[in-house]
Chains A and B, each alone.
Chain A
């Protein structure tokens, strides 16, 4: 273990390690990790929220909503990333886009299921009284269902984000990018001599996930109106891991 710490210190002592522009730099890899995550989350959210909310508002495709999260959990992110890489490289597509596409595919299930649940499971009595007060369909969706669903919807986005950050690292196996996963994969490739690099990469990756998750939760508490907080999020839906 002492050896590993020694290695880790040496690894971090490399002058190029603190560069924003060199591929060996920790800041460079953090920035890469964040933009890959952000790009995938933006695309996944934009693609998923409108259909999920629409279907939930009309209470359609309930079976799809409950099975999509199970399907997402059963698909190994490791295999999916590599399949996307394979298919993309056969078609001459730049590798970062293939990685983002794989990340989007993994982010969709938790976002979809939570958005659906958040909107569909608003208390029927509230929906009924809103209709009774003469709210139009559109007003019901935007003034009642969406506000009350906000917290559950955002939780889905948070869960997806945690999964995406984790999976970016796995991307380092086949892609030149892979953010902080780069250090872990490259370190493993060097055998015991690379354990220092592996541990540095692991600490940074773990901290990145926990900080991102913490900031997201803090932002939710800060910006979601108090009255809309504390709705029960079904446990099973929260679960996603990579």
Chain B
């Protein structure tokens, strides 16, 4: 019986009183989760854009970037954190680099797939109208590639939101921090684990839908095509 009490037998999974009393704590954890996500995806996006520009210029690099990205992608987040902590110490740097790592493969692949998907005829037509190479890239290729790029951004963002929780192990983690604290309290506090997990899923859905909406706003022509 004692062991069961230790495991929080009497504490409910959903404890509205606890939630009501700890709204500021939950809000702070959510904000930290969002900050870590945005910074990591932003860093990942910057790196991916640089890599894509390099790959556009030197095509042979593309295979190498995908291969390295694939290896990094397969390495468990736990192991990635463990490599980086001795180098950068416990803190946000190790967390952000780890999280950004997982976006590069998805983002580079989607940016390239998007750009490659623009038909040769369209590009030729733009050149025929007197577009310079730069104008073709910025005015034709990138806008037409946006839907595929945005799809990549959505997958990367949702992936990172799920992974942020793991960085609780090194004192970050946003909502993961709620989960970890809930486990480490004696006895454990189940409501913290439930709130942390559920809100992480909610955040993922909200960001996914928001980016979906943003993508539609940025590419109005895809909407009119669909309704036509």
Question: Which residue numbers of A lie inside 8 Å of B, CB to CB?
Answer: 1, 4, 70, 73-80, 82-83, 85-86, 89-90, 92, 162, 165-167, 169-170, 173-174, 181, 184-185, 187-188, 195, 198-199, 201-203, 205-206, 209-210, 213, 235-236, 239, 241-242
Q: Are B86 and A1 in contact (CB under 8 A)?
A: yes
Known: A90-B9, A239-B106. A185 touches B74 (CB 8 A): no
Chain B window 88-116, contacts with chain A (Cβ cutoff 8 Å), 1 for yes, 0 for no: 00000000000000100010011001000
- B24 smallest CB distance to A (angstroms): 21
For A185, give its contact among B165, B169, B194, B196 (CB under 8 Å): B169
- In the docked arrangement, what's the CA distance between A239 and B159, Å? 9
Q: Are A74 and B161 in contact (CB under 8 A)?
A: yes
- In the docked arrangement, what's the CA distance between A235 and B196, Å? 30
Question: Which residue numbers of B lie inside 8 Å of A, CB to CB?
Answer: 4, 7-9, 13, 71, 73-83, 85-87, 102, 106, 109-110, 113, 151, 155, 158-159, 161-166, 168-170, 175-176, 179-180, 182-183, 188, 190, 193-194, 196-197, 200-201, 204-205, 208
Chain B binding site: helix, strand, loop or mixed by DSSP? helix
**Pairs of residues from A and B, 9 with the lowest C-beta to C-beta distance, nearest first:** A79-B197, A166-B76, A202-B82, A74-B204, A78-B165, A202-B79, A76-B165, A76-B162, A205-B79
Q: Are A242 and B200 in contact (CB under 8 A)?
A: no
- In the docked arrangement, what's the CA distance between A79 and B162, Å? 9
For B86, give its contact among A74, A195, A206 (CB under 8 Å): A195
- B37 smallest CB distance to A (angstroms): 12
Q: Are A173 and B77 in contact (CB under 8 A)?
A: no
Known: A70-B208, A235-B110. A83 touches B76 (CB 8 A): no
Which chain B residues border A79 with CB–CB below 8 Å?
165, 175-176, 179, 193, 196-197, 200
Q: 13 A-B residue contacts at CB 8 Å?
A: A76-B163, A76-B165, A79-B196, A82-B197, A86-B188, A165-B76, A169-B78, A173-B180, A188-B169, A199-B86, A202-B83, A236-B155, A241-B73
Which chain B residues border A205 with CB–CB below 8 Å?
76, 78-79, 82
B82, B102, B158, B161 — which one has the most chain A CB atoms within 10 A of its CB? B82
Known: A90-B8, A188-B170, A236-B151. A241 touches B159 (CB 8 A): yes
- A181 smallest CB distance to B (angstroms): 6
Q: Are A74 and B208 in contact (CB under 8 A)?
A: yes
Known: A77-B162, A89-B7, A241-B102. A206 touches B208 (CB 8 A): no
Which chain A residues border B8 with CB–CB below 8 Å?
86, 90
Known: A78-B165, A165-B76, A188-B169. A198 touches B82 (CB 8 A): yes
For B77, give its contact among A1, A86, A166, A187 (CB under 8 Å): A166
Given A76-B163, A239-B159, 10 extra CB contacts under 8 A: A74-B204, A76-B175, A76-B197, A78-B166, A83-B193, A90-B4, A173-B169, A198-B86, A210-B74, A210-B75
- In the docked arrangement, what's the CA distance between A166 and B163, Å? 12
Q: Are A239 and B163 in contact (CB under 8 A)?
A: no
A74, A181, A185, A213 — which one has the most chain B CB atoms within 10 A of its CB? A74
- In the docked arrangement, what's the CA distance between A93 and B2, Å? 16
- In the docked arrangement, what's the CA distance between A202 and B83, Å? 6
For B183, give its contact among A173, A187, A202, A203 (CB under 8 Å): A173
Which chain A residues border B82 with CB–CB below 8 Å?
184, 187-188, 198-199, 201-202, 205
Question: Closest residue of chain A to B151, judged by CB?
Answer: A236
For A210, give its contact among B9, B13, B71 (CB under 8 Å): B71
- B205 smallest CB distance to A (angstroms): 6
Question: Closest residue of chain B to A181, judged by CB?
Answer: B78
- In the docked arrangement, what's the CA distance between A206 and B78, Å? 9
Q: Are A80 and B71 in contact (CB under 8 A)?
A: no
Which chain B residues border A90 with CB–CB below 8 Å?
4, 7-9
